[in-house]
Amino acid sequence: MIGITRYGAYVPLYRMGKGTEAWTARGERAVSSFDEDSITMAVAAGLDCLGDIDPKTIDAVYFASTTSPYREKQAATLIARALDLKDGIFTADFAGSLRAGTTAIKAAVDSVKAGTARNVLVVAAEQRVPQPRSDFDENIGDAAAALLVGREDTVAEIEDIYSNSQEIYDVWRTDTDVFPRSAEDRFVAEEGYLKSMKEAAAVIMGRNKLSHKDFAQVVAYAPSARKHTEICRSMGFDEKTQLAPAYFGQVGDAGCALVPMMLAGVLEKAKAGQRLLVASYGEGADVLVLKMAKDGVKPAGVRGLSGYLASKRLLSSYITYLRWRGLVNIAFAAKRPPLKIPGVHAVWREAPSNISLYGSKCRTCGTVQYPAERICTQCQTIENMEPRKMSRKGAVFTYSMDYLGPTPDSPMVLAVVDFDDGGRGLFVMTDRDPNEIKVGMTIELSFRRLHTVEGIHNYYWCATPIRS
């Protein structure tokens, strides 16, 4: 049976909510940090989804987002590197629509059905930037999710998929717009999502001879909590008993990642035999009928949506968020030299160490070292190394906090990290509270975008306190 075999999610640490200076909306909104973007969040969700399975068993990776950091450069290739998938794996980016996430799932199912892939990892992530104080500002949130589509050990079988499409200016951004635009509310609802989702739901239920009561849960896109209820009723379902949570007031409208994220949350808990209707919208609707082949569980070591929802920190000020999104230009703590342009040849050459986190282990003396070396740091034996994937967990051996560092998140915290299973490295610490850093504290490495210089987004791993 083709379906979803594994699932994971990622919600950034920070929330804006009650207590955030100058935040006027009710409820909380998940806010990605200045060093996060759709690619880094997709990697986090991908890591959560894959857990301990061998990443080399993945045949393809599809990335869905309307907020890729690139217009002309594939994001999926970088995500594949960071997740340490097979060399030369089939990659594709799905963009341009709030239903890109489910469109990618559909393409994945079609690939597996056609036999061009045994499995496909679908990762969706979104970092939309709403105009401050607009309606979007209250409701948009940042998040990511990842679903593995395959044939083996299926948790949720995908029984059917139906899509309709329509050409409409309801919610959109051009290639140069920063903020999403919206047509008038009633038009957006009546001719946009209500119409498309209702029609698609009706068609898929009709052709499968299913009625509303056959569905235990409905996972539906919506741009806000009120509209979520409206959509549910419009499709003919009962919002009290059937509507899966969309986490407005906790995360927010995570664009094309919202439905995959909600689905990842549902799959943790749904029971064998239950049917799910999954409906997303963006110039048309994608609807899927899923049937649980077994009870949903959260595998050991996987945080899942529930884990990420439970771990949060209130952002102290709306102004910090504006600064992080580049909407207000605030000077750094001290005048610093301009960042140097990364050498793209060095970036390319060092990807196995920098992106895939490979070090090496000396076969002669057993010392694990990062980055990989040809001559052992410990015993100086020449070229007797085996590749070693570094652990993403470790402990802080020592640290300092640079109050003059070129960061929007002063002070810049530097940590010498001893990896759990050998080796040591020096990393910036992010998502951290300076008052809570201690020698010996455990950390995990998180994929982040350090900075952008001359059109080059420079990605690397940073240490973060464990998200508990």
Partner 1 sequence: MQGLRDRVAVVGMGCTKFGELWDKSSDDLLIDASLEAFADAGIEAKQIQAAWVGTYSSFRTGVGLSYPLKLQYVPVTRVENACATGTDAFRNACFAVAAGVYDFVLAAGVEKQKDSGYSGLVANAEVVSSETAPMVPAPTQFALAATRYFHTFGLSFQEGKQMLARIAVKNHHNGTMSPKAHLRREITVEQAINSPMIAWPLGLFDCCGVSDGAAAAVITSPEIAKKLKKDYALVKAVGLTCGSAQGVQQQSFDFVHFEETVDAAKKAYADAGVKDPRREISLAQVHDCFTITEALVCEDLGLADKGHYRDEQNKGAFELTGTLPVNTDGGLKCYGHPIGASGLRMMYENFKQLQGKAGPRQLKNVNLALTHNLGGKPGGRFTCAVSILGRAD
Residues interacting with partner 1, by CB under 8 A?
Answer: 334-337, 339-343, 346-347, 349-350, 354, 367, 369-370, 373, 377-378, 397-406, 411-412, 414, 416, 418, 422-428, 434, 439, 450-451, 453, 458-460
The CB-side HSE value for 271 (13 A sphere, CA atoms) comes to 2
**Which residue lies nearer to partner 1 by CB, 135 or 418?**
418
Q: How far is the CB of 79 from partner 1 (least distance, A)?
A: 17
365 three-state secondary structure: coil
**Which residue lies nearer to partner 1 by CB, 310 or 379?**
379
Within 246-372, residue ranges assigned H as helices are 258-267, 304-310, 318-324, 344-349, 351-354
**Which residue lies nearer to partner 1 by CB, 261 or 368?**
368
**Which residue lies nearer to partner 1 by CB, 314 or 426?**
426
C-alpha distances in angstroms, 244 versus 52, 207, 214, 319, 446? 28, 23, 15, 33, 29
Q: How far is the CB of 87 from partner 1 (least distance, A)?
A: 19
262, 304 Cβ separation under 8 angstroms: no
Within 18-158, residue ranges assigned H as helices are 38-50, 76-82, 100-114, 135-139
Q: How far is the CB of 405 from partner 1 (least distance, A)?
A: 7
Question: Minimal CA–CA distance to 457: which of 105, 71, 32, 10?
Answer: 71
Q: How far is the CB of 317 from partner 1 (least distance, A)?
A: 21
Partners of 161 in the beta sheet? 288
**Which residue lies nearer to partner 1 by CB, 377 or 381?**
377
**Which residue lies nearer to partner 1 by CB, 56 or 349?**
349
Q: How far apart are CA 248 and CA 28, in angstroms?
A: 8
Q: How far is the CB of 361 from partner 1 (least distance, A)?
A: 12
Q: How far is the CB of 43 from partner 1 (least distance, A)?
A: 15
Q: How far is the CB of 81 from partner 1 (least distance, A)?
A: 13
**Which residue lies nearer to partner 1 by CB, 187 or 403?**
403
Q: How far is the CB of 108 from partner 1 (least distance, A)?
A: 31
**Which residue lies nearer to partner 1 by CB, 169 or 397?**
397
Angle at 52 between CA 377 and CA 267, to 5 degrees: 150
Q: How far apart are CA 391 and CA 354, in angstroms?
A: 13
Contacts of 279 (CB under 8 A, 6+ apart): 197, 200, 201, 218, 219, 220, 221, 231, 235, 259, 285, 286, 287, 288
Q: How far apart are CA 182 and CA 352, in angstroms?
A: 43
232 three-state secondary structure: helix
